Amino acid sequence: MTRIDAKFAALKAENRKAFVAYVMAGDPDEAKSLEIVKALPGAGVDIIELGLPFTDPMADGPTIQLAGQRALDQHMTLDKTLGIARAFREEDETTPIVLMGYYNPIYSRGVDKFLVQAKEAGIDGLIIVDLPPEEDEELCIPAQKAGLNFIRLATPTTDDERLPKVLQNTSGFVYYVSITGITGAAEASGADVAPEVARIKSQTDLPIIVGFGVKTPEKAEEIAAIADGTVVGSAIVNKIAEGQSVEDIAAYVKTLADGAHRA
C-alpha cells in the first residue's frame, strides 16, 4: 500500500473528501518552493502534486507555463525537484507526493534510474500527461512494479470506448479534468462534472479527484461533494507569482482545503 492508498483509506474511514494542491517545484526559487511545500500539510492539504518543470508544457495554461519558466530560470532540475521531496520527507513521512509533469526529463534520465531515485526521494505517484495508455510499458508498468502509483487523466472527451483503456493500469486515483482545454482556462461546473464522475465510478473502484477550474473555497466544496476530492493548482500558483509570503499562501490554501473538507 502506497502513502496515496493509505491516505484515501484514512479519508474514507473519516468520511472526508481529499484536498490536493499543486505547486511547481522551484517556483519562485528552490528555497521558497521548499518552504511552501512544507507548509501545505498544515494548511489542510491531503496530497501534494509537485510539478516537474519542463521547457514545452503543452497541456498547461499560461499560469503553470510561467511557473515552470520561473523555475527553469532559477536552474531547477529533476535532481533538485527530487531534492525538494527528499527534504520534505525529513519532516513529513505520511503526506503523499505525486510528481506531475512530462516524460522527456524522465526518459533522458533513464526510467530504471529515475524510479530508483524517485522512490528514494519519497515520491509516491506519477502523473505524466503526455504518456498515453498505449505506452504503458514505457513507464506505467515499471513504476507500479517499483511501488509507485501511476495516475491517469480522464477528460470530458474520454468516451465510453476509450475509458477502459485509460483505467486499465491506473492506480492511486483517477484525475478527472473537468474542462476541455488547458489548465487555468475556465471554471469547473458541478452540473457538468457530476454525470462524468458517475460514469467513471461505474468503471472503477478508484477514488476520483477533479481538477482544472477550481479557484474558490465554494467551488472546492461543490466539486469535492460530487467526487472523492478536488485539486487546485493555477489559483495557488497565481499567489506564488504575486510574490505573497509563505504564510499568506498557506492561509489561502487553507480556505480551499476547508471548502473541500466541508463537502
pLDDT value of residue 36: 98
pLDDT value of residue 187: 74
Separation between Cα atoms, residue 115 and residue 148, nearest integer Å: 8
Ranges of residues in the chain whose predicted pLDDT is under 50: none
3-262 has which fold?
TIM Barrel (3.20.20)
Separation between Cα atoms, residue 30 and residue 76, nearest integer Å: 7
Separation between Cα atoms, residue 64 and residue 70, nearest integer Å: 10
Separation between Cα atoms, residue 213 and residue 234, nearest integer Å: 8
Provide the annotated active-site residues. 49, 60
